[in-house]
Amino acid sequence: MSILSKLFKKKNKSKQNDNYRQQQDPDAPKNLPILRDYHENISRLKEELGNSTDVAFREFNLKQYKGVAVYIDGLANSNMISDFFMDALLKNQEELQSDSFQNLVDKVTSLGNLRIINNWGQVYESLLSGNTLFFVEGHTKAINVETKGWDKRAISEPTTQLSIRGPKDSFIESIRTNTALIRRRIKSPNLWLETMKIGTVTQTDVAIMYVKGIVNDKVVTEVKERLNQINIDSVLESGYIEQLIEDQTWTSFPTIFHTERPDVVSSQLLEGRVAIFVDGTPFVITAPAVFIQFFQAPDDYYSRFDISTGIRLLRILSFFIALIAPALYISITTFHQEMVPTTMAIAIAAQRENVPFPAFVEALIMEVTFEILREAGLRLPRAVGQAVSIVGALVIGQAAVQAGFVSPVMVIVVSITAIANFSTPSFAMAISARLLRFIIMALATFLGFYGIMLGVMFMTIHLCSLRSFGIPYMSPIAPFNINQQQDVLIRFPIWAFKNRPPLISKGNIKRTGKGQKPGPPSQSDRKQDSDQGDQS
């Protein structure tokens, strides 16, 4: 029995290996021809698709033709198939004078967009994309009619990148709708779109969009090469693509930008970047990305430059507060009490008199607790998530102070840190500060201010070493270029944006023409207006 069981296991294992190789080899069914007998084609489809109940077969028997129409219910528009194809063919079958395949193709051509396919690889690809296939008796070809019509979410307001002023539409999970939102904003023939499929199992539609003449052709080529090198079974979100094409994996800082706002993608395309759309997700990624880009919000360009500059500087200050505020508290209470006024030092010491933990443990308890509350607020249903996070923070904070686990000053420091962290427009950059905060806290525990300075110094060196598709991550700050500072720390007026970033755009870098600076009318214009008024 043991010998038979071993042989049976080996046989099953060899079958499993053959099935696995067949699944992993996407070219296996592609070269198989379509059969002349449409009944055999139906049997093959049912066998390959596991007799799935959502695969619909509608046989037709015309005067000169007979065959079957195949589509997947839920992916194809069944009303379009019934009204514009099946019923139209049945009513006009007298016009089909011969049994030639081209005659039927010409008739169906007047009903919709189609293409001719002749192998099973194209059959599966078309069918699973929501199209309808017509198998005709006696022919080794099939007619593929575009009938995509699945349900999709309506365009709504952004949920992760809100703005006070500006467009209120956002991307959805349909790649064609997302590209159309960009087409509405950039009505130029130079806006090019290229589509490919990634994922041996999911066959996810991925598209790259760029403005020809503005974009750097080397960046476009690099993006295509990295996308073509991806060999993975599934792509379910743009985060898959982002992690597979980024320059540096071992970093907490995002080197590729993602957004759900069409206006942000449009502005970045006009700067010379490349946008990557992934079907099934409302987030579009753009590359290359630079550090200061993650602190720029859409409101910066829809408001006056002085107001936008002040708010942007406030965001950058908030980022550093979120990064080092708990570490500053630890270093002051542990090593550098002389750095604060005496009255404040006495007040802090009095509050921490009954706290049984050192400052690092106290800060760690509060930070970890707040991170747990924040994560719980995100994962809970929206109706109760905010209430749980707010009430939990108040109750736990107050109870921890009364129990003597933490001091009131520590609660204030953690609260300010959390609020400052929310000021960063990009969630990817905000979560990087959350992770690095714990490392800087540990350095401050052992070395005080020197540890904070050491951590910030190494972080700066690391940022200067990063690249995004060959572009320095800290540009134009490092390497510093004085001619590219119009939109970094200080946002210049729109009329001063004369050129696009030259490191990103290698084509047409001119943005604005001459004489765009607004001003009051000249004396000659006033005199001319007054003369015209007198004549009238």
Taking only the tens place, the pLDDT of each residue in 122-138 is 888 888 888 888 888 88
**246 domain-assigned:** yes
**Closest residue by Cα to residue 93 from 79, 82, 107, 112:** 107
Torsion of CA 387, 389, 390, 392, to 10 degrees: 110
Q: What is the mean pLDDT of the chain?
A: 83
Same domain (yes/no): 307, 398: yes
pLDDT at 297 over 70: yes
Q: Are 432 and 253 in contact (CB under 8 A)?
A: yes
pLDDT of residue 273: 93
- Average of pLDDT values for 394-422? 84
pLDDT of residue 9: 44
pLDDT of residue 501: 83
- Least trusted range by pLDDT, from 30-39, 101-110, 256-265, 347-356: 101-110
Same domain (yes/no): 429, 333: yes
Higher pLDDT, 258 or 6: 258
What's the Cα-to-Cα distance from 116 to each of 109, 140, 248, rounded to whole Å? 11, 10, 43
Domain-terminating residue out of 289, 311, 338: 289
Structure tokens belonging to residue 55? 């695969």
Same domain (yes/no): 379, 420: yes
Same domain (yes/no): 80, 225: no
pLDDT of residue 93: 62
**529 domain-assigned:** no
Same domain (yes/no): 132, 66: yes
Q: How confident is the model at residue 3 (pLDDT cuts 50, 70, 90)?
A: very low
pLDDT of residue 479: 85
Q: What single-letter DSSP state applies at residue 82?
A: I
Q: Are 517 and 495 in contact (CB under 8 A)?
A: yes
Beta bridge partners of 210: 192
- Average of pLDDT values for 297-310? 90
Domain-terminating residue out of 472, 490, 525: 472
Same domain (yes/no): 228, 130: no
User: Domain range spanning residue 310?
Assistant: 302-472
Same domain (yes/no): 440, 352: yes
Q: How confident is the model at residue 81 (pLDDT cuts 50, 70, 90)?
A: confident
Backbone angles phi, psi at 206, to 5 degrees: -125, 130
- Average of pLDDT values for 463-487? 89
- Average of pLDDT values for 526-533? 60
Higher pLDDT, 475 or 13: 475
- Least trusted range by pLDDT, from 270-279, 328-337, 396-405, 466-475: 396-405
Higher pLDDT, 402 or 533: 402
Q: What is the pLDDT of residues 423-434, one digit of tens each?
A: 899 989 999 999
pLDDT of residue 536: 54
**86 domain-assigned:** yes
Higher pLDDT, 205 or 85: 205
Distance separating alpha carbons of residues 415 and 329, to the nearest angstrom:
13
Helix (H, G, I), strand (E, B) or coil at 166: coil
Distance separating alpha carbons of residues 341 and 328, to the nearest angstrom:
15
**111 domain-assigned:** yes
Q: Which of 2-6, 111-115, 455-459 has the highest mean pLDDT?
A: 455-459
Same domain (yes/no): 259, 391: no
pLDDT at 182 over 70: yes
Structure tokens belonging to residue 133? 């296939």
pLDDT of residue 61: 80
Q: Which residues contact 244 (CB under 8 A, 6 or more apart)?
A: 226, 230, 232
Q: What single-letter DSSP state applies at residue 83?
A: I
Q: What is the pLDDT of residues 313-348, one digit of tens each?
A: 999 999 999 999 999 999 988 888 888 888 888 888
pLDDT of residue 337: 82
Domain-terminating residue out of 449, 472, 495: 472
**528 domain-assigned:** no
Q: What single-letter DSSP state applies at residue 35?
A: P
pLDDT at 10 over 60: no
**3 domain-assigned:** no
pLDDT at 17 over 60: no
Q: Which residues contact 277 (CB under 8 A, 6 or more apart)?
A: 175, 178, 179, 206, 207, 208, 209, 238, 284
- Least trusted range by pLDDT, from 114-128, 254-268, 514-528: 514-528
User: How many domains does one find in the chain?
Assistant: 3
Same domain (yes/no): 373, 246: no
The percent of residues above 90 in pLDDT, for the chain, comes to 35
pLDDT at 30 over 70: no
**151 domain-assigned:** no
Same domain (yes/no): 446, 313: yes
pLDDT of residue 14: 43
Q: What is the pLDDT of residues 234-246, one digit of tens each?
A: 999 999 999 999 9
Structure tokens belonging to residue 284? 């579009």
Q: How confident is the model at residue 274 (pLDDT cuts 50, 70, 90)?
A: very high
pLDDT at 215 over 60: yes
**499 domain-assigned:** no
- Least trusted range by pLDDT, from 28-37, 50-59, 322-331, 356-365: 28-37
Same domain (yes/no): 253, 274: yes
Give kind and range of the element (H or E) at residue 349: helix 342-351
pLDDT of residue 389: 66
Whether the model pTM is above 0.75: yes
**Closest residue by Cα to residue 26 from 226, 232, 223:** 232
Same domain (yes/no): 343, 468: yes
Distance separating alpha carbons of residues 452 and 442, to the nearest angstrom:
9
Structure tokens belonging to residue 206? 């991925």
